[in-house]
Structure 1
Amino acid sequence: MENFTFKKENFNKIFPFYVLLNNNLEIISYGTSFGKLYPSLKKGDSFNENFRIKRPFLDTITAKALSENVNQLVIIECRTGHDTVIRGQFELLDDKFLFVGSPWFISIEEIKSKSLNIFDFANYDPLLDLLQLLKTQEISTLELRNLLKINNDQREELKKEREELNMQSLVASANNNAIIFTTPDAKIFWCNDAYLKLTGFSREEIFGQTPVEIGNNPAIEKEALQKMIDLFYSGKPFDVEITHGRKDGSYFWTRTQGQPVYNDKGEIQQYFAMIEDMTEIKEKEEQLKLLSLIAEKNMNSVVICDRDGRIEWVNESFEQVTGYNIFELVGKKPGEMLQGKDTSPEAVAYLSRQIREGEPFNCEIVNYNKNGKKFWLQITGQALYNQWGEISRFFAIQEDITERKKLEKQREELMNSLEKSNKELEDYAQIVSHDLKSPLRSINSLMAWIREENEGTMTEQTSLYFSMIENKLEKMDSLIQGVLTYSRIDRADVNREKVNLDEIVNNIIHIIDIPSHIKVTVDCTLPVILADRYRMQQLFQNLIGNAVTYIDKPEGTVNIGHNETKAAHTFYVKDNGPGIAKENHEKIFKIFQSLVKNERSTGLGLSIVKKIIDNYKGKIWLESEPGHGTTFFIQLPKTK
């Protein structure tokens, strides 16, 4: 390979944004375009006092720190109010540090504000596309003629830049993008390490081959390939997006930019090409296309905003819900257009914080459409990132939950009304029970006085009538107490404690009146559950008492038992009584329903049982046939 010498002036044309530092990190020289960005900069200035390294972040810039960060992407910014940052690399050059980079611009206006033009950038710099657009929009006819003259002068100067290639190769070696040099007949004679890493080939395998031979792959686009070949052999610069093969048979997407290098006679001496790996960008572009396609078909509203939170795109559903068309929305922040007096400040603060920190967000918020109509939204969204891990835009899905909110409000109002009604019913039941029990107690006292005053003089028939009245009074008292109990069951449990049902049931067996011909048996040890002790007492006392009351056999049996699953307890109360016809299995749980006449029955026992079980979100059912007894099953879900 030939050796080349290098002149500062020519190097400046290819790498206009460079800075050369001595070992004390003092500025020896810098590119003319670099000087345009930082006009207050002078030779001999301290680099450390004028600039900071943003990525990788360095607290203090030292020669040692720079030595440890060569051959990697570095982002620098000015400490003195200039807002432009430069991306590039540091390279050791003898005892000096050479920084070569390119400014980071995001808009034409920013480039114009720096008074830069096309000649302030290297020919292969990606920002040339943006500058070319600026040039096309602004140059006049006179400027165009001057530009043509300058281009001709530049072409003549480029013929003298053969000696630059030695320095250019040095810089290219440190470039993150792949760089190659070829002979005029397209044979590769030099490449940097980045090209080896991207392709997987060794230098021995690459040198002497053409880029087409190295990069050929089954997915290559024939049209793009032919365009690059035609421009190459025409001696023209080229800039194409094309796939490039690897040694292992895979391939990656590239942006390949090349330009000819001339000798003193104006003949093409070699070609210089830079190959940028675009695979991740291409994949994200495809993802964005797919995301937009999905969003367009989504029934919910979808909005995509830039990194500043300004709308870039919305789907048709978003337009329909808000009443705004996409042209009215683009460039605006959703909150500026849609929030109003009933929008929660807490929700707004939450969204702002999540977006600012790049975190996912999910909340409910009140918005207003173009006509001022209020509606509720459920907003779910997240940030999208570029290849450098920086937020590029935000994506959000907005579900209209206005109807759901109306239903929730109606439900809340209904529950409040129901709670009020239940309280009124309970109060009424207590008043009624008190008012009814008072005359009953008076009648009972009168009956006792009459018996006492007429002891020994009442006929047998009169005594029978008195007993019948007393039984009726006792039944009426039980009925009143049952009504009061039934009205109170809907109240939320105040006491939830560990209740030993084995103890509860055995106490009931000893308390209630069980005729001598009936045997009540507990088949197994009953569990301890979390519940209200009084209600469990009511539940089992009613079930066992009901079974005992209706047994019509000479020898009666009542069995109580339990089964358990992971989710629930299931109890049973089984008797050998008269049984219940299938058509009456549901009827018996209704209030004041009794299928047979019995002086001790109020018609409330099973209604109370059913209401208690419903209150615990449990189930009750029975298995029974006339003449073959009845088994009641109670299932109560386990609670923690």
Structure 2
Amino acid sequence: MKSALVPILRSNPIKILHLEDQPSDADQVAYILKKADIAFELKLVSTRIEYIDALETFEPEVVLSDHSLPSFNSIEALEILRTTKSKIPFVLITGTVSEEFAVEAMHAGADDYILKDRMQRLPNAVTNALQKYQIKKEQEEAETKIKESEAKYRSFFENSMDGMMLTITDGKILAANPAACAMFNMTEQEICESGRFGLVDLSDPRLMPLIEQRQLTGNARGEVTFQRKDGSKFPGEITSSLFVDAYGNERTSMIIRDITERIVAEEKIATTTSSLQKALDELKKVMDSSLDMICAVDEDGCFLQVSAASEMILGYAPDELLGKKIFNFVYPEDLSKTEHSAQHVMAGNALTNFENRYVRKDGSLVTIAWSARWDENERIRYGVARDVTKLKNAEKLIVAERKRLSDLFMNAPVSMCITKGKDYVFELANPIYLELSGKKNIIGKPFREVFPELEGHDLVKLLDSIYDSGQPFQANEIEYKIDRDGNGNFTSMYQNVFQQPYRDIDGNVAGLFYFGVDVTEQVVARRKIEEAQKRYRQIVETAQEGIWVVDRLDKTTFVNGKMCELFGYTPEEMIGEEIYAFMDDEGKEIAANLMQERKNGKSGQGHFKYISKTGKEIWTNISANPLFGEDGSYEGALAMITDITEQKKIEEENKKLSDVASLTVNAVIVTDIEGRITWVNKGFERITEYTLIEVMGQKPGHLLQGPNTDKATSKYMGDCIKNSQGFRVEILNYSKSGREYWLDIEVRPIHNSQHKLTGFMAIEQDITDQKKVELERLALIDSLQNRNKDLQQFSYIVSHNLRAPIAKIMGLVSIMESESEENKFLLTKLNEEAAQLDEVVKDINTIVSARKSTKEKMEQIFFETKVNLIRQVLEETISENQATIITDFSAAPNIWSIKSYVYSIMYNLISNSIKYRKTDVPPLIEVRSTQDEKFICLSVKDNGEGIDLVKNGNKLFGLYKRFHTGNVPGKGIGLNLIKTHAESLGGRVEIDSELNKGTTFHIYIPKHDNNTEIANHTL
């Protein structure tokens, strides 16, 4: 089965370095890759020096290598490749190898290996290997980018002075930075486990409004009371924003600032106005030195005081802002919520970490986090604004990167996990890893606890080695035996493994990344295939049938030894050749149609003729089946071939015998060389009353002869059989019921193509009735002789009195030819006239012989059989003139009549149709039969020259009458014989003809049953 290729998206051809010393094998590799529509640039090398040079100068993307080479082997080639640190696939292409060698090659670093008699795997092997390395490269690049991004995110996150947390909307905390841990005196894990509501004072009345605000608007900023790990409480300013990550999940970011000191300061400001006033100058200095913009606005929103940070945050100097409304600088989309927050503050509510956007002087946007409160006495709002634009962008980037990392990890097409520490505690595991391992709830558990069955396995030592060395590890088809179901039953699985240590911020190994590709099915399938291939090779090479495989172009891709023995070729001579190279022209046309059926998905079986290397015809029995790839495309065909040449010859002989025997009313017997019966026809069963089963294996003489059988005749027959001679006798036999009957027996020996005797065939005619009427026949003959006395006398005169002088004349002429030259001309003319006269006498004898009285017993005559016999007799004439004979005897397939007359009529009509054809048109002859109550009409129609019936109708059947011009040979007696024979049978002849359009003869023959005889008809 051919596997579907995995496409590699690229515009340039694959650079392939092929290590091979056999050009034919290299050509086959190139052919297979081209056939698979793989664009490639191939460099062929065969020595170590060429190989090393090509690795440096050619820069291949994949290496294909034979195992055995003149100066080194594939294992050495692998070692050379690895020393170059080139990360390219290495595919081994070799003959049949042991399983141990295959394992050694794969352990040595080969990505795949292909047997040379299974080259159809090569395209998949190349594309799969390239894809694997491409995926690996992309993973490494992705990991690098992720690490860089996470490092940036981690640096910002961990170095922020404010406490930062990433939470879920239900209150679960996903992450907390060091500032938050210090603020709450907790570790990050403790913060995550406590949850959002474990960090706040739930009795603080400001908490619920903040939550409702965040739920309503997606953002909230305010002050609430927080509590530390030891239960101590502190006031804090919190900014909370709701966002949706790249996966559509709702997340919440929280920024918390400890405002204990600020609260104390505010309380002091509220209670010590005078002291505050005195410190305004100092405060202004503090304000101007702060990176946060500190401002005061009146109840109308106009700036009363602004710190110097306004120029850094908004791009405006403080003087440019004083007296102007703060709302004039708010980004229009945020104006509504800003006004609402102002009303909220002026209602006596403190505002913490409220975020909105402002339009800077240069037109750019800046995101500001506000803390504000309202002084009811002074009717002034005091606020602190911090530029959090970078923080917001960082938060988005961190969330997006974490989302990408999580997606990559959870949806990767390979099994992945992350372990921490020397105990290899599972921190993460993707679904494929859990599915393959059959384990659940492994997060937080050490490797040995999750996989106790692997204790003592080399894998544990390998983990320690990777962890201690800090070096990555890669291997293919590592076998594990895992108790997946926890019932003590271990399941073997194979994986291609890559393990990579990861380090902490100090550069120390902190844990391991694990990547695994499950190749269990491939390994098991490959081993089964390898075992099957061994068995298949043994079966194929020892098979007594020829095995022939062709590709979709009908070219030979495989033949076994029996196939080569049968055709006389070597495998190398046959492979690559089209199947048509072993056929004659007729066979090629038939085979082309049969191969089209294979391409249409049809199997086939039958007999077919091939031509061997020596030119010998070989008849075979073929069972052929189409071959299809996994995508359903036609890839070729497989045929099982058996030599039936001898069987075919015997079948042809037997068919001829069977055809003749089945059509005759006579008995037919076939025996072995000892004269024991092997087959009889129905005529035998009818005459002897014995069935084939009853007589099988018996000698006819022992079974059928009786007391009145002539002993001398019987002995003569036995002697001929012993001497392998044919014979013909008349003998008296006995039927099963004891009835006596006379037979006319003709026996002939049967030989095969090597002229070896294989048996005898006997044709037996029942002549019992003829024997009984012999006296009557003699009397009838005497009567006929008297009635035809004049004709016989004439015949005698012609035969003796006339022919004798003619013969003497011709003899004298031949003697006189040696005389003088002056007589030669006269002698030549005399000889020609004598020869013509002799031909006339012969014709008269023919007519006289045909007109003799006769009394013959009728036989059942099958028209189709007679036409086939005439085809054989006229085979050369039919072929030379490209004549076509069409028959239709469906209306009357047979007739009871005199066989010789009917045959003569049909023969003369068909031969005349060919003889008097048009010179430029191949003869088309239609022979049909019809019947009415009294007659069966035999019609013969041709497309020849035709006859002018108006001119020649009254002399059509006369002797020596010819109606065609030209050099067509003939004597003009054929139609006379046809008419004479038809009338002697009691019938008649009718003719339809027209010049240049052809002629149709209708011969009407009376119907008779099988007991009727035609007697005393004088022809």
TM-score after normalising by structure 2: 0.26
Rg comparison, structure with higher value: 2
Larger RCO: 1 or 2 (CA < 8 Å, sep 6+):
1
Task: Name the TM-score, length of structure 1 as normaliser.
Answer: 0.38
